[in-house]
Structure 1
Amino acid sequence: MSDEDETARRWSSMGEEASVPAGAPIGARFQAARRADRANPAWSFETGWSQAAAVVAEAAADAELLALLEEECDGRTTPDEGLLVELVAATDRLQNHLAGVQATFVEELLERRRGSMGVSRTRDELALRLATTGYAAETVVARAGALAGAPDVAEAVRRGCLSPRKADLITEATDELGLAQARAVQQHAVVFGADHTVPQLRRELEAAVLAVDPAEAERAREKAVARRRVVREPARHGMEWVSALLPAEAAACVYTAVDGLAADGAADDERTVDQRRADAFTGVFEEILATGATVGGVVVPDRQGRRPVVRVSVTEPVLAGDEQSPAVLHGYGPITAATARRLAAGGVLEQSRYGGTGPPGAGGTGPPGGAARRGLFDPMNEVLPPARAPGVPDGTDPERLVNWVHARLEWVRRRTGGGGARHSNTDTADTTDTAAAGAGDPLTVMVGELGLVACDSYAPSRRLRDLVTGRDQTCRFPGCMVPAWRCQLDHIVPFDPQVPAWAQTVETNLQCLCAHHHQGKTERVFSVERDSRSGITTWRTRTGHVYTRLPERVDLSALTVQLRRDAAAIWTGEDVDDVFWWDDPPEDMTPPPVHLLDERDILPGGDVLEEITNQRGNAA
């Protein structure tokens, strides 16, 4: 029985059919069908099919259908179950239709920016505007270009009968085929894909491509092998997916090895086979990080001047067990305090100068170890350090910094009546002895009086690299999550050989950028400024759009206190804006007492962050 016959049978079973002209607007046809349904004694809210449902099922994906769905959303009428199913399906058709409309606009934008660089920069700008990842924006851009060359697929998407994901599968599968072969496979796939799932369509496409052009299929496979990669995808509860796109035979090799390692479990091993596979997979790479080399003797190269390690940032109170604020696993995000303490057991501790989210250089930036612990909670205490005095440079303007340092050195020279030795091309140790400026060393002045770390060369020193990568954690382009250790260090104000290097290669004029976004900044596709006090970077595009990137938080103590207090207020129903945290909080909200370390020892001016690296390859 055809679909038309089945629809007619269903309609006839409901009694009198709605009588409206065929060309009437969908709203009029829908209301007439609904009246006919309600007039039928057999109709009920549990009806599996109705004339109104049939009208929605046949409606085109357009503005009229959208208006109908909006009207049905207001809750003034109660649809039957069959109609509800069709309303859901109609919403899906509209989403598909809008994806096609979006592709049309993206393609027009690409036409105005011809060339590979236009594609790349359009991807970056759309990622900013849509507040999405570069990968997601690249998918939108690639889809637009592909649909422009696949009219049958584009029409199916615009009609709403093919999802964007299915359209992507079809265009990707036929990308390497000749025009005639591609068109034939696309027409076949459009019909097949309308009623089949994505995995079913993928298998059908594989068979169709192999059948229509075996030689081209082999060439396409060689190109696909060149796109092999490994990616990470964060999951909840401190978990993460690691996925690899590999040739099928290589994937079989990996899984066979992992499955073999996990096959035999001891009698008292309570792990499932899936858990043993995961542990065996992890163990291979833990051993590589622990030894610094593969089984075959290939040495793991240094990154940013250091051997690759997994890093965690945690405050001393959390490490001591006195607080339960989340720690930060670099490259992933927040993890529980208990997890951080377990990892720290075998880790190496490195004290960091950053005690909060704010930048250094003008006083402590710690979390609420000071004001928040002693009085009213102000989340800005965690974010902003004290402002610099008027006229004191923050290192973001090299020429201003040069003038200030030279003036300071001249003042010291006149005061002491002496000259000064030249500085070495190394970072200078922190000092508060301003008389040391008499040695004529700009780096000494910058560290001792401005609190700024710099070096007198274009390439940052190891100390400066560690400082900036630890501060930034990821690429500073909005939305980009490439880890800092894989990034390049960028001079925010471009390096000028005519200006002393020590005034440019300074922590407040450096940021981490991945190679892609570093190149975009170099080509002036984007411009960027960084506020040294807040750590916020502001990006501007050629179209005039402005985007900001907040600094990464490595200390979540303030957030923890704030949310617990808000939860207490919700629980009690009282306004606690002017209540101290320790003023009779609910019993389950009481913070643990300090007992392992004296607070005065661990909070000299804010919590001290600890960077933990584990020589066994574990995060700590």
Structure 2
Amino acid sequence: MTEPHSTAPAGDSRGDDHWKTLSRSMGDALGSVEDRDESGAVRESGPARVEQLMTALSSVRAVESFTAWAQYEVIAALHAELVTTQPADHRLLDAHAQLGARIAMTGALTQTMGERLVDEAVALRDRIPRVALCLRDGLITKTHVTTVVSRTDLVDGTEHAEAVDTEIAATLRRRPGAWSRGRLRDMCDRIVFRRDPDSVRRRRQQAHEDRGVWLDTDREHGMAALGASMSAENARIAFESVKALADCACKADPRRVAARRSDALFALLTGQRFACECGSADCPAVVPDARVLPDLQARIVIHVVCDESTLDGTADNPGFMDGYGVIGADHAREIAAQSHTRVRPLVSTARESVSGDSTDPQRTDRRQFTPRAAAGGASIGTTPEVVRADSAGSPDFEARRLRASQFNQQMHAPSEIPEPQLTRPGTPQPDESSDPRLPSHLPSDPYRPSRALDAFVRIRDGYCTVPGCETPAWSVDLDHVTEYDHQNPDRGGRTDPLGLNGKCRFHHLLKSFSNWVDDQYLDADGRIVSVWYTPEGIRIDGPPEDNTALFPGLKRVRFTPPATRAPQRVIDQPMRDRTRTAATHARRRHERELNRTDRAIGPGYRRAHHTVDFTDHGPPPF
């Protein structure tokens, strides 16, 4: 017989007090939804009303988390009553299946869903009890639980289980913010992969052997679905190939994006020609024959980040694949060892002076604000870029070099970039004046980041930095958090790691053309914190974690503005004192100053000592 066990902190209550607090909050939330207050007066609309409803929404979500925790607690108790008291057997209708049937019938669920709830409840009780308390306290949701349970399955029943549970729970409590499913998955994988790389290796080998193709005909209206499982890099390359062919249609093509991609996939698989369906006799689309797709003028780049010790085989630190997430050390080495992979350093040992930068200021393929254009060339490049970055998992943790590995031998090599030196954790910090410096922007244009900074920010962010958005970092725009002032760069916008972050096109437009404001600053631990403010001034915390948790050595990289080679642009035409855009940007700068004052001193001081004055902020950026 097996006995249920729990490693939850001693003295933990059933959550009664927490539930009483939530009940009061829920009552307030329901009351705030009403159009009239307790006295019967009609509630006034406006920012205060929006803030009240947003607070109510947070209370509702906290109650959802608590009730999910309570449900798991009840199911775990049923498991202890009905399953763990029975001897293990191999019957199809064993005690576990019969408990699943009880759960399924009670909730009108499928048998599979009922058994999954049982499995999750047992995992929360026995494997990750501290994470269960995070669910109770509203730090995560039921959806998050499914992710954590599945990503910690590797350590179930091993000596690593308790340590993994402790570290995940501590991270959730230490780093509040918006945990998207992808970022939570990456955090769990980072912890598990470092604790038990051998299990990761075995599971990946099994998953690789189980790859396949399947057809799902259980669809309506004469439709079916075709699926396949393969390595992450192959899947990314295949998907990008489909996108590249689908994007050849002109803008007048009436099909939705997803429909065009479906047709492009069929053309690729069958060798048939993909055609634009705009119906115009003078259609400008140039669509290649799917049978000779390598002649398509496009470039496919898959970026992968890892440290040098992992590629050298002296450590088994996890890596990161753009558009996928954390990968194991063996996986990174396999990518680097493939015949069509070209491994080269992102930073060279021959350091350049910060007064120079080999980035051509006329190049547009490394854009900051415009969409990534299809690059001309003779063939499709398939480039998963394995970028070597420091990781704390290596015991020797010697100085590393960031490297880039690119699929396709025909890819143009990136220019050489000075190499940052990364130090052993726990050692005294050297004088920063002795650290090597990388150029932060182009010598000819302080507005445009250097290639070194461009790559650094994308590696650090991993995704779009807006809460909940998981657009891959190499598909986003780099944005100046504080609007760049072209006439006086010292006054607005910094082209450096703290002044830049990645935003997908939608969220970039949301910030640029509406009243949303974002900010980015260093907290007391030196961690970059990203926050957003709604048009009503309501603060929304950004992602709790970036890739510096996976590659701590990134914190040692330093950037310095290079000497300017060309004079700054001078606007010599007559200018108004202040345009509408200037007023908007000045207001945003002022709001950030007030928000930072709130964090440092408190809102009372701000109201007593600050007045709004936009007259000295000058014209807007262009």
TM-score for the superposition, normalised by structure 2: 0.33
**More relative contact order in 1 or in 2 (CA 8 Å, sep 6+)?**
1
Higher helix share: 1
TM-score for the superposition, normalised by structure 1: 0.33
